[in-house]
Amino acid sequence: MQTIISKYILRNSTVSGIAVIYLRIATLSRQKYFSTGIKVLRKNFNEKLQIVMPKDCEADFKNRMLAEKKAQVNDIIIEYQRKNQILTVNQLEIELKRGYVSAKNDFYAYCNKEIDSRCSVAETRKTYFTQITKLQGFKKELSFAEIDRRFIEKYFDYCIEVLDNKESTAYKSLSMLKTFVYWAMADELIIENPFKGFKIRKIGGNRQHLTEDELKILDNYFYSGRLTDERTEILGQFLFSCYTGLRFQDIKNLQKDNFYYEIIGGERRKFLKLIQHKTKLEVTIPVLSKADKILDTYINSSNGKYVFKVRSNQLTNNRLKSIIRAAGIDKNISFHCARHTFATLALDRGVSFDVVSKLLGHTNLKTTQIYARVTNENKFFSILKMED
C-alpha cells in the first residue's frame, strides 16, 4: 500500500512572528505544500500536537478548519487506496480543485469552498458569505462562463435599482465579486478578466468624528448612571477606542495581559501592546488617564482573560447610534468613528503625523494624512478669527 504522510507546518513567517499554516503532503519521494490560509503567531501553534493553542483567541475556529482540511485530504487518499490507484501530489492538487467545482460548473460552490480554505477570520468569512448570498439573490445559479462585463454591469444596476443600495455599497459588492473572480482566474477556471477596463470607484466612507466638547458630553454621560448596563458597557468601549484609536475587533480581542508598565520621566506609566487584527502588526499605545479610568470599570469583571464583553458589530452600532442621539449629538456616528476621533484630536493637539501613524498602526503615512484634511478645516476656521 502506498505511504502518504500529511503534516501541518508553519511557513512564510513575518518579523512580528506571524506565520501561515501549510499542509505538507509527502508521497513517492515527492512533497508539496498546500496553504490553509490560516495565520497564527508561531508561539501559538503546537507542531507536535498539530493544533492552534488556546491562547489564540480564534483557536477553536482555526482547529476546526484544520481538521476539515485534513479530513478532505484523507477522503481522497482513502478513495485512491480503495481503487488501488497511485496518488501523486500533483494528482492530489487536481482532486482538491475538482472538489471545489461541481459538474454544473457552479461558481457559488467554488466560492464557498475557497472562502472555507482561504479565510480563517470569522468576520471576513461572514462578510464574504453575505456577499455570495446577495449575488444569489440576483442570479440563483451561476457558472464561470456567465461572468462577463455585461453581467457585472447588470449586477451593479440590480444593487442600485432593486436593492436601493448606495453607490458605495454597490461598488463594495463589485469589489468582493472581483476578489472571487481573481481567485477563479488564478485557478484557470476563468480565462479572460471580465473586470478589465471596468473601474470600481472608491467612495469615501463615514469619516465623522467627535469634537472635544462632544467627547466630554459622552464622557459625562458614561458616568451619569442614566444608562442601562448594556449601554454603559458599549459606550465605555467606544470611549476607550476614542482614547486609544483601537479598531472594534481589537477592542473585542483586548486581553488583560496586553497591559504593562514602563518608567517614563521618573514615573510609572501604563501602556498596551497588541497585534492588530487587521494588519497583523504590533502596536504600542500609552494609556491616557481617561482610558485608564474606563479600564477600572472593566478590568476586574468576569470576562475571563478579555477586558471587554463585546457584542456583535451590528448590535453595538445600533445601540451606539441610540446613545449618541440620547446624549444630544446630531451626527451619524459608528463605532469606527472613535478611531477617526482619536486621530483628528491628536493632530489638532499638535501630535506629529509620524507619531499618530505609529499609534494607529498605519503602514503608510498617506493613510494618516487623510485626517489632516479634517484638522486643516478646523485650523482654517480658527485662523479666520484673526481677520478682525
Question: Which domains are present in the chain?
Answer: 4-98 (no CATH), 107-186 (1.10.150.130), 212-386 (1.10.443.10)
**Phi, psi of 250, rounded to the nearest 5 degrees:** -70, -35
What span, in angstroms and rounded, lies between the C-alpha atoms of 270 and 299?
14
How far is the C-alpha of 259 from the C-alpha of 325, rounded, in Å? 33
How many other C-beta atoms lie within 10 A of the C-beta of residue 167? 12
Cβ neighbourhood burial of 213 (10 Å; 0-12, 13-18, 19+): exposed
| Residue 51, helix vs strand vs coil | strand
C-alpha 6/C-alpha 21 separation (Å) is: 13
Is residue 188 classed as helix, strand or coil in its secondary structure?
Answer: coil
Tens digit of pLDDT at every position of the chain (388 positions): 678 888 999 988 777 788 889 999 888 778 888 888 788 899 999 999 999 999 888 888 889 888 888 888 888 888 888 888 888 888 887 777 665 444 347 899 889 888 887 877 777 888 899 999 999 999 999 988 889 999 999 999 999 888 988 888 889 999 999 999 999 888 778 888 999 888 887 655 557 899 999 999 999 999 999 999 999 999 999 999 999 999 999 999 999 999 999 998 888 999 999 999 888 888 999 999 999 999 987 766 666 889 999 988 889 999 999 999 999 999 989 999 999 999 989 888 888 888 888 888 887 777 777 777 666 666 666 666 666 5
The DSSP bridge pattern shows strands 259-264 and 30-41 to be unpaired
Q: Please check whether residue 315 is in contact with residue 223, taking contact to mean a CB–CB distance below 8 angstroms.
A: no
How does DSSP classify residue 127? H
CA 220 to chain CA centroid, Å, is 31
Contacts of 30 (CB under 8 A, 6+ apart): 88, 89
Segments of the chain assigned E as strands: 4-11, 18-27, 30-41, 45-46, 51-52, 259-264, 267-275, 282-286
Backbone angles phi, psi at 6, to 5 degrees: -120, 140
| CA–CA gap between residue 297 and residue 215 (Å, rounded) | 18
The secondary structure of residue 102, as a DSSP letter, is -
User: Strands 4-11 and 18-27, how do they pair?
Assistant: antiparallel
186 and 110 Cβ atoms separated by less than 8 Å? no
| 223 within 8 A of 290, measured Cβ to Cβ | no
